[in-house]
Chain A
């Protein structure tokens, strides 16, 4: 059945630009596809990328709306929320938000943002869109598997979305779903059907990730065009490639954790349960360990934050270089630091567990490994700064978001050094300090990477430009909003306010900062509403935006050598061969301030560096 899809053949044709020229003829004769084949069950990586993006935007609106709901509760704990009754129905009890539903909101906000927006929506969109275009391939190695990857994600989305509406409420044990809370419906209503749907949905999600990941890796390894050695790959591709490897190695562990939890929940096993007396009854389970679940969860959970942030790092590197009109500084160091981060991300997971009762010696080991990972991250920041230094910067919206990314990554990354210190984590664990830290370093930063990517590659996706002025407004509003929300949140965290609290009013220790929490809530809700500027701009520009040119940003990479809207197979003729690295911006002696990767050294004799002379 797969053979019916034209892309398959094109991929065969695309394995190298070395293929004889029948490629071109082959293209012209390809048959018209039905609507269903073209836009729904498409195997074209560009369409699949857009499917991921639009589903991701849908999820981001849901995730953001949920956060506005619980910020209402946290900002105005005494207020009546009766007016939300039309939307929330029975979850508003006598004008108050149901505390279990509050926990469900927090849980679903986390799950949606981490997995459905920043993993699928970010990496799914741009790995799909950019890998074939930037390495010079007709499509992914397997268009069919790629299609399956999206549809598994879609199925998983439908189930997760449905779980929001069931009677006992969605999963409510936190996005980390620590058992026993997540295993026992007696403990919280959300651990009934809601948690079951959560687990099923995540299982499908993991399948989607694996199908996608295998494809990305295979494509990068096998389908690079002539001349595109690994050392000539744009940093975006390096980032997507390593992200896919991380996902492939770590998601199966989450799958196993989910599976064991399903066994504990439904089939009476005791992997994570022991010595429990609940709801007037002693359970028969003995010998299990809740800590085991945490090890399994964080073995994915920690690489996951790098799965979220590395694609953003790659895109930001690319966009900073393009718009500073300067080569990215330390290309090899950038790859090296990505490799370092990828490797280290697998051996730091237990820093989420310093105070869980894990052996303190293990805590020491993980503290040491965790703080090492700060070094490659620091190198990346210095290299981005050096890329801006003495550049000739054009502030496109994508560039603004990229600079914003670096700023937020620094702000959030530095506090990671505090939290990675086990002795300091005793006090800060599970406080708002943690919430502020990861919302800056992986939440907001990754979102900024996502926006930068959308603004930058929108012309290649839809053949039109997004409106710049609206983009500027969107950026400044969001940039200020993010800082106004998350900087004060650190203060709340240092004061020890625990996360996932419905209200702090019961404690004297947490009696201050009612005003600050109100302030954070206002900023968060305004920043959320500001996102509709982006959504308007996005959809308006798809149909009514200014028409784009082939290479609107004067960029060097391969995707800008395709037609304004690349069709099936990406290049109408032969796939271009690559001759140079992707960052020849403002090269001394060159006529233009950029030399595309497809230009051979023989044509740029005036600007060739000594060692490049040999390659003329």
Chain B
């Protein structure tokens, strides 16, 4: 019934619209305005351009100011402070160009609207001003490129040696995280070994992997460089941490990396934003399927001491899944007759080891 009435209303509106349209044509023929080459509507359009410039400009300015606080995700990384500054400086430069060109465009449209007894100025070219307005954007561009290039090489340069290393792996549709454990070395993984238990595909015949541990959320220490080693085990994903201004694709078959230094702990950020439930979040930012929009993981930035304590509490994967470790041991026993030295069985992560990593 509602559908029917909506259809009816629409149909009636269309009829009214059609009648108005015919009426408009008839009046314009009757008044003779359809024969005039340039009519009143020329003036109306010229005025509308001014109205659009002023009204639109005011709306833009208002909405920008109104939303400014909401559009700046609080920053919590060293390079994020630098890129955010560069972003707004660039935006300001471009904003000047934007306002200048738009004002000229609309103003000229209004100012030079058709007048019966005026003739346009025959002005086909002028080499001097053309050179000038080629050079100005070229110089501004050069400055922006240089600033961007310097920052980019700094951000993508090699991570400091003492960086905390962790691995983030994307899969449909969540993130998995692995820490290297006390030996600070991530063990070998092989995608063919992946199953419901061994989600990373740990190859535990590699000693380095025995003390690796996985985690349900990411913990990083404040003030220390953090190196993310990034992998995907199915389709493309993208590690995106808006608050840290971090983004890097997770590519199956091609490990990638990104390093950054967090500057504020989660608690500090909670205090700053006044939101007791604030959490840094890791989102997926490359279309990966049905659950793309829900691929979330929390990131906790701890004070270094708290981080060490947290690190110490973690149990390694092999310790939690002795049967996986045993299966590898069996395999290697079959292959090699000599019994290998027992892997640092159930390597317990000690606080000192974690501290060494900082």
Contact = CB atoms under 8 A, between A and B. Distances in A.
Contact of A103 (B119, B234, B285, B287): B287
Interface of A: 99-100, 103, 173-174, 178, 180-181, 184, 187-188, 273-278, 280, 282, 286-291, 324-327, 329-333, 355-357, 360, 363-364, 367-368, 371-372, 374-375, 378-379, 381-383, 385-386, 388-395, 400, 403, 406-407, 410-411, 414-415, 417-418, 421-424, 426-427, 429-431, 467-470, 472, 476, 479-480, 483, 487-488, 491-492, 494-496, 498, 500-504, 506-510, 512-513, 516, 546, 583, 585-588, 593
Contacts of A470: 21
A472 B71 contact: no
A275 B252 contact: yes
A372 to B, nearest CB: 7
B277 to A, nearest CB: 7
A491 B145 CA distance: 24
A355 B249 contact: yes
B201 A374 contact: no
B125 A407 contact: no
B240 interface: yes
A501 B87 contact: no
Among A331, A424, A491, the most chain B Cβ lie within 10 Å of the Cβ of A424
B31 to A, nearest CB: 13
28 contacts: A99-B290, A99-B291, A100-B290, A181-B289, A282-B194, A290-B236, A290-B253, A329-B125, A367-B149, A382-B133, A385-B108, A389-B108, A391-B112, A395-B46, A403-B109, A407-B105, A410-B97, A411-B98, A414-B94, A422-B148, A424-B83, A427-B80, A429-B247, A430-B247, A476-B52, A479-B52, A507-B283, A508-B278
Contacts of B286: 178, 430
Contacts of A421: 86, 90, 144-145, 148, 152
B321 interface: no
Given A275-B191, A506-B296, A356 B249 contact: yes
A525 to B, nearest CB: 15
Interface string B107-141: 01100111100111111111001100110011001
A593 B48 contact: no
The 9 closest A-B pairs by CB, nearest first: A274-B253, A357-B256, A360-B156, A496-B242, A421-B148, A390-B121, A395-B45, A586-B120, A423-B151
A184 B37 CA distance: 61
A258 B219 CA distance: 42
B109 A388 contact: yes
A216 to B, nearest CB: 27
Interface stretch (B62-70, B336-344, B350-358): B62-70
A515 to B, nearest CB: 10
Contact of A288 (B56, B253, B279, B293): B253
A331 to B, nearest CB: 7
Contacts of A386: 123, 129
B315 to A, nearest CB: 24
A487 B60 contact: yes
Contacts of B185: none
B73 interface: yes
A379 B243 CA distance: 37
A327 B122 contact: yes
A392 B125 contact: no
A326 B121 CA distance: 7
Contacts of B278: 508
Contacts of B151: 423
B115 A392 contact: yes
B320 interface: no
Contact of A187 (B45, B153, B235): B235
A509 B281 CA distance: 7
B152 A364 contact: yes
B272 interface: no
B134 A406 contact: no
A352 to B, nearest CB: 12
B63 A289 contact: no
A277 B191 contact: yes
Contacts of B129: 386
A368 B285 contact: no
A274 B49 CA distance: 56
Interface string B169-199: 0011000000000000000000110101000
Contact of A371 (B120, B141, B157): B141
Nearest to B112: A391
Interface of B: 21, 24-25, 28, 34, 37-38, 41-42, 45-46, 48-49, 52, 56, 60, 63-64, 67, 70-73, 80, 83-84, 86-87, 90-91, 94, 97-98, 101-102, 104-106, 108-109, 112-115, 118-126, 129-130, 133-134, 137-138, 141, 144-145, 148-149, 151-153, 155-157, 171-172, 191-192, 194, 196, 201, 230, 233-236, 238, 240, 242-243, 245-249, 251-254, 256, 275, 277-279, 281, 283-294, 296
B39 to A, nearest CB: 9
B73 A509 contact: yes
A372 B141 contact: yes
Contacts of B118: 392
Contacts of B87: 418, 424, 427
A378 to B, nearest CB: 4
B55 to A, nearest CB: 9
A410 B60 contact: no
A327 B253 contact: no
Given A546-B34, A583-B124, A593-B120, A417 B114 contact: no
Nearest to A502: B293
Given A355-B249, A430-B286, A507-B296, A385 B144 contact: no
A500 B137 contact: no
A480 B51 CA distance: 11
A585 B191 contact: no
A103 B91 CA distance: 31
B122 A587 contact: yes
Nearest to B97: A414
Contacts of A588: 122
Contacts of A180: 234-236, 252
Given A426-B155, A509-B243, A417 B233 contact: no
Contacts of B191: 275-277, 282
Contacts of A500: 287, 292-293
B233 A276 contact: yes
Contact of B71 (A173, A288, A491): A491
Contacts of B28: 469
A488 to B, nearest CB: 6
Nearest to A424: B87
Among A394, A431, A470, the most chain B Cβ lie within 10 Å of the Cβ of A394
A331 B124 contact: yes
A5 B2 CA distance: 55
Contacts of B34: 546
B152 A423 contact: yes
A275 B121 contact: no
A34 to B, nearest CB: 35
A357 B251 contact: yes
Nearest to A325: B120
A433 to B, nearest CB: 10
B292 A501 contact: yes
A412 B291 CA distance: 31
Nearest to B155: A423
Contacts of B230: 357
Among B73, B104, B108, B238, the most chain A Cβ lie within 10 Å of the Cβ of B108
A178 B108 CA distance: 45
Contacts of A187: 172, 234-235, 288-289
Contacts of B105: 385, 388, 403, 406-407, 410
A90 B248 CA distance: 36
A432 B219 CA distance: 28
A327 B287 contact: no
A331 B120 contact: no
B70 A491 contact: yes
A498 B91 contact: no
